[in-house]
Amino acid sequence: MALPVAFFAVFFAHPVVAIVGRGLRTEDGGWRFGRLGDVLGRPDVLDVLWFTTWQALASTALTLLIALPGAYVFARYDFPGKGVLRAVVTVPFVLPTVVVGTAFLALVGRGGLLDELWGVRLDTTVWAILLAHVFFNYAVVVRTVGGLWAQLDPRQEEAARVLGASRLAAWRRVTLPALAPAVAAAALMIFLFTYTSFGIVQILGGPAYRTLEAEIYRQTAQLLDLQAAAVLTLVQFAAVGAILAVHARTVRRRETALRLVDAGLTARRPRGTGQWALLGGVLLSVVLLLLLPLGVLVERSLDGGLGYYRALQDVDAGGGTFLVPPVEAIANSLEYALAATAIALLIGGLAAAALTRRAGRLVRGFDALLMLPLGVSAVTVGFGFLIALDEPPLDLRSSWILVPLAQALVGVPFVVRTMLPVLRAVDARLREAAAVLGASPWRVWREVDLPLVRRALLVAAGFAFAVSLGEFGATVFIARPDNPTLPVAVARLLGRPGDLNYGQAMALSTILMVVCAVALLLLERIRVDRAGEL
């Protein structure tokens, strides 16, 4: 636990405390606690809090309404191309929010597909934000609810039908109570993601709509009001902490309340007009809601051939946006993501190993510590890096390692959650037998644990790589102008007028989408291979 605790203390707790402390401390060393009421009483801040909350609730409800039929279809129906379609459905979730915002901008924005066909524009409206959130979180419902639905024994519902219950009554009294914890867990995750939404709101919301995360960025980067930013950070941290606590409790209920069967035994071919109509409706919604924005993004990047892609090689094509050709952002992002993945695997692997070998309150607190980066504003972390890591021996502001360190903070929780169940499933007697035969702890790990968790390690590496590749909130502060990442480059291009800048943003977004999709497909292949071995 020593190295992970030290890592989080230096590169997470220290920057966050530094930036919040700078915002709330007075010049004579006192505290501006009265500032909390001043900031929270401002009408514009109250509007931000209200919009953040209600758009998260609306996004969650709309996502459940649209995605639950898809979860049922993927759980209960067997049809050609199901595996590929499941991977395609998951692609939006691993895409950076900047790419999601750019894709919907190409669909509903000025000069977008809807604008060209019917003269309809939805950018800078709340509907664009809500639809983009559905696009981003559709896979959460399919994976969380659909994964459980596929393992529920259908004979329980069939028994209720035999006893005289209607199809609706059997589903309401038998299946729905069993699914309720999974639905609640999915809803809480979606609410968490949309409550802290930044990239999507920043691109599609315009000046009229701002979430807490976007407002923290505005107060920090544009208005330089660190006091207001510190207060909003504490509010977001408290809200997200409560959400994570409820989520953890819901997950525990889901894990202990059900008896499951093999998912391969519950899926069957659709039968009857109604089932085929449901399958067709779900496929149509996937095409319109998930594939169409990505297709429009690719089409806009190819408008006029490969000109936008060629322009990425010209430093002057961005109109002074970059100090280097935009195409260099591709190599920068890959290098940063690889370094961040290595750091996340080291820290997350050690943390997961520690959690499997100890118990008690200390370990539970350590487990909660690992999840904190998901509940703190990435904008706060990024700006905190600039504030806190500016003196020897930790003067890293001019070092390239600053970006991978910030990205690794977000990757570590994914590594821990991926590896922990597999490590806990390793029979402790195997380790004990190896130790009795004289193996050192390192050799026990290398010859007992590593062969069993190798594929989980690869899956964790893939998730950490995808998350690091698309990290935007912290990176936008610390990425140097001569070394931009892909999400930062896309945001900068969208922030400047001109068709060439817009086209280059579409081209870079398409490249980023392809890289993330390839990483996801590799993960799916690893999962399938591992399932076959088991």
For the residues of 94-130, what is the DSSP string, one character each?
Answer: HS-HHHHHHHHHHHHSTTSHHHHHH----TTSHHHHH
**pLDDT value at position 89?**
83
Q: Which two tokens stand for residue 262?
A: 């093999």
**pLDDT value at position 341?**
92
**pLDDT value at position 344?**
93
**pLDDT value at position 27?**
62
Backbone φ and ψ for 51, nearest 5 degrees, come out as -65, -40
Low pLDDT (below 50) residues in the chain:
254-263, 530-534
**pLDDT value at position 435?**
85
**pLDDT value at position 236?**
83
CA 205 to chain centroid? 19
Rounded distance between C-alpha atoms, residue 515 and residue 312, angstroms: 17
Helix/strand/coil for 495: coil
**Overall pTM surpassing 0.85 (yes/no):** no
**pLDDT value at position 257?**
43
**pLDDT value at position 57?**
93
Rounded distance between C-alpha atoms, residue 457 and residue 49, angstroms: 39
Q: In this predicted model, what pLDDT tens digit does every residue of 207-247 receive, in sequence order? A: 778 888 888 888 887 777 777 888 888 888 888 777 767 76
* H/E run at residue 93: helix 82-94
Residue 317: burial class (beta carbons within 10 Å; 0-12, 13-18, 19+): buried
- Residues 285, 286, 292, CA angle at the centre, nearest 5°? 100
CA 280 to chain centroid? 29
Helix/strand/coil for 89: helix
* H/E run at residue 504: helix 499-533
**pLDDT value at position 437?**
85
**pLDDT value at position 258?**
43
Q: How far is CA 448 from CA 102, 219, 444, 456, 531, in A?
A: 46, 51, 5, 14, 20
**pLDDT value at position 255?**
47
Q: In this predicted model, what pLDDT tens digit does every residue of 291-323 receive, in sequence order? A: 888 888 888 888 878 888 888 888 776 666 677
End-to-end Cα separation, the chain, in angstroms: 30
